[in-house]
Amino acid sequence: MTARRTRWTRRTDRSLPIRSAAAAVAFAAGATACSAPTGGGGDGGTEAAESVVIGVASEPDTLSPLLGYGKDGNSKIFDGLLARDTDLELKPALAAALPKVTDDGRTYTFTLREGVKFSDGEPLTAGDVVYTYRTVLDEKTNNTARSELDAVENVRASGDGTVVFTLKYPYAPFAARTVLPIVPEHVAGKQDPNTGDFNTEPVGTGPYVLTGWSKGEKLGFRANPHYWGDKPAVKSFTMAVIADDNVRATRLRSGDLDGAVLPPNLAATFEKDDGRRTYRARSYDFRAVTLPSAGQVTGDRAIRRALDAAVDRQAMVDKILDGAGRPAYGPLPVDDPWYERGIERPRDLAAAGRILDEAGWKPGSGGIRARDGQRASFTLYYPSGDKVRQDHALAYASDAKKAGIEVKVEGATWEVIEPRMKTDAVLAGLGSVGDPDFGLYTLLHSTLAGDGFNNMAHYANPAVDEALDAGRRSQDPKVRAAAYREIQKALVADPGYTFLTHIDHLYVLADRWDGLTTQLEPHEHGFASGPWWNIEDWRPKK
């Protein structure tokens, strides 16, 4: 993610069959349709191949990189100094080459690619790069990912074609942070980054430009005539925003969509369809239950440890994910090179009972434990329409009840959930590709508690904070490995989350193009990730 010292071995399977029997697709009445794809079922013709409609579960809050959009790469509207290839190796994008690193890892110098223009025809300059990074780092800008650039002390231009970053301390994975999309100062610089029109009317250097955004319905894109790279064969595409998994599957089957992200049980219904292919991507994407320290019940360490022991992770992988995933024993997947071997924890209801007994939680009415008049009961929210999270939440509640803990599951919108995150549990989905600092720091560091969706559990452990800082600031691989080992062990002894599964992402598309691949993916899937991560490289089948 070739500043990133280690990475996963790519383990992406294309057209991988889903193991269990297909589940019936539930047809939802009144599904709102957007423009149907030309050629729908797909005859492979040129006209059909030039326009694509993709069904995704959610849309961004903003299209401005200044507020966090596209910070991990793969934005179709923008480019960063660097980009990632299929295997997540860094490659030049707006930079002409990988950076020159000097001063013992404290200075990164980038030379810009010549002849690059923004979609409005204006040239890219080093000043645009400086403006982008300085604005993101400005505390007045509402970007909750600012901590990811904590190492940056200064960024300056050296003429129109060179950008120099000076770091406060050597930060091993810094180059991978320069996939951050670059915005034009001559447009964005005239607006308030938090409220300006640029958030919904972006101008970038990427292969496509936004043609329209109907919130909650769809986003349209067409090829950028000023793009510096090869001209895309897919001339336009639409991202149809369809929150309900069943509706997405229904519209894909009807030909209203060319492709969609789907949960395993619905993806399985297409596996015998000769006109479509299923793509499966490994991911860092985990499902976990946040256990807020401020909650009356979830704030008790014994409750958190008992839940960690009571949960049947393998059953969730088998029954909910249909085998398309792995048990999660922490935020890093079991096949990640930084994963700490030996922290695997099979379900142990007897251990859960002992933990609760020793902490004074005694069996009470209906088998639910209580202590000092407080029932071991709390509410767990999940986002409505997300069947995979709902199923995880229900399975979690069932496992918890066997240990004498009542978990009341409720579906709600994020508008309802977000204000409750400090005290109520949430079925969360998180995970970042690449260096462990990328995902662990924002998940666990106490200074980020309650900062948007950072540290949702308000987790606070001084030893973990110290290890996170050591892992971020050291370039010594042994020091970093020791720090991340300590963090993973601490999460076993003092869990702030119950980690459940790491999920594989599944996509079904009409089989009309060549050049489709998947990457190892972060939590975000569907909008920037998926086989369309490189849609500009697709070519119609001959």
pLDDT value at 429 more than 60: yes
pLDDT value at 282 more than 70: yes
What is the DSSP annotation of 15-72?
SPPP-SPPPPPPPPTTPPP-PPPTTTT----HHHHTEEEEEES---S-S-GGGTTTTT
Instruction: For 256-267, write each residue's pLDDT tens digit.
Output: 999 999 999 999
Q: Return the C-alpha torsion angle 316, 321, 324, 325, nearest 10.
A: -40
Which of 304, 317, 78, 95 has the alpha carbon at shortest distance from 198?
Answer: 78
Q: What is the CATH number of domain 65-199?
A: 3.90.76.10
Which of 494, 348, 500, 490 has the alpha carbon at shortest distance from 427?
Answer: 500
CA-based torsion, 411, 416, 417, 423: positive or negative:
negative
What does each C-alpha distance from 34 to 31, 55, 172, 211 come to in angstroms? 10, 10, 45, 14
Q: What are phi and psi of 287, to 5 degrees?
A: -110, 130
pLDDT value at 165 more than 80: yes
Q: What are phi and psi of 372, to 5 degrees?
A: 50, 40
Domain boundaries, the chain: 46-57+207-283+504-536, 65-199, 286-503
Instruction: For 345-393, write each residue's pLDDT tens digit.
Output: 999 999 999 999 999 999 999 999 999 999 999 999 999 988 899 999 9
Domain 286-503 CATH (choose: 3.40.50.2000, 3.10.105.10, 2.40.40.20, 3.30.70.100) = 3.10.105.10
> Which residues, in sequence order, are bridge partners of residue 238?
53, 220
- The three-state secondary structure class of 490 is helix
Length of the chain: 542
Write down the mean pLDDT value for the chain.
Answer: 90
Which of 52, 40, 57, 1 has the alpha carbon at shortest distance from 388?
Answer: 57
The Cα 51–Cα 343 span in angstroms is 48
For 104, residues 6+ apart whose C-beta sits below 8 A from its C-beta are 170
Predicted local confidence at residue 542, as pLDDT: 84
> Which residues, in sequence order, are bridge partners of residue 374?
371
Predicted local confidence at residue 48, as pLDDT: 57
Same fold, 46-57+207-283+504-536 and 286-503: no
User: Which amino acid makes up residue 133?
Assistant: Y
The Cα 92–Cα 148 span in angstroms is 21
Contact 279, 14 (CB under 8 A): yes
Residue 504 carries which DSSP code? -
The Cα 266–Cα 321 span in angstroms is 11
The Cα 222–Cα 51 span in angstroms is 9
CATH architecture of the domain with range 46-57+207-283+504-536: 3-Layer(aba) Sandwich (3.40)
Predicted local confidence at residue 47, as pLDDT: 56
Q: pTM for this one?
A: 0.85
Tell me the two tokens of residue 294.
Answer: 């401020």
Residue 112 carries which DSSP code? B
Instruction: For 36-60, write each residue's pLDDT tens digit.
Output: 444 443 444 455 568 999 999 999 9
Predicted local confidence at residue 8, as pLDDT: 30
What is the DSSP annotation of 79-100?
--SEEE-TT--EEESSBSSSPE
The Cα 422–Cα 200 span in angstroms is 30
Between residues 27 and 298, the one the model is more confident about:
298
Tell me the two tokens of residue 174.
Answer: 């810094």
